Homo-oligomer: A and B are copies of this chain.
Amino acid sequence: MSEDWLDCIRWTREGLAPVIVQEVNTGQVLMLAWMNREALSRTLALGEAVYWSRSRGRLWRKGETSGHVQKIRDIRLDCDNDALLLKVEQIGEIACHTGRASCFFQRLEHGDWRSTEPVLKEPNGIYGS
């Protein structure tokens, strides 16, 4: 397959693009991640999300340790070709390393961030202690 579709994307100077990850069944926004060309290419080939970890400086197959993989259902690009939207089936119903469904669990209330979403599974139970 031609890689023209990868060339359409306006990657940052670092070769990355932000990726919004949304649960296809619930509509919940799960996380914001980053991809480079290789991550997106592998995601398509594998049918499961592979990101670029900026903190670890390496490709990161989502769920490689936790088992909470993300099955790809839809890949979208925005109008100025510099942001991606993945619709995924979130296996295990947990996307966040804190054991919550979504990484966006801090809500602005009365001038402060409050944690609002339940921890579905303790991180020690996900990753080992």
Residues of chain A whose beta carbon lies under 8 Å from any beta carbon of chain B? 1-2, 4-5, 8, 18, 20, 22, 27-29, 31-32, 44, 74-81, 83, 85, 96-98, 100, 103-108, 111-113
Contacts A31-B78, A32-B78, A97-B79 hold; do A5 and B104 have CB atoms under 8 A apart? no
B107 contacts A79, C-beta separation under 8 Å: no
A32 touching B83, Cβ below 8 Å:
yes
Chain B residues near A4 (CB, 8 Å)? 111-112
What copy number does this chain have within its complex? 2
Would A5 and B79 be within 8 Å (CB), given that A20-B32, A22-B29, A74-B107 are in contact?
Answer: no
Check if A78 sits within 8 Å of B106, measured CB to CB: yes
Q: Shortest distance in angstroms between A29's beta carbon and chain B's nearest beta carbon?
A: 6
Contacts of A32 in B (CB 8 A): 18, 20, 78, 83
Residues of B within 8 A of A76 (CB): 104-108
Question: Could you say which of B18, B29, B85, B108 contacts A104, with CB atoms under 8 Å apart?
Answer: B85
Contact of A5 with B74 in the complex, beta carbons under 8 Å: no
8 contacts between A and B (CB under 8 A): A4-B111, A8-B113, A20-B32, A27-B27, A44-B108, A79-B103, A83-B104, A85-B104
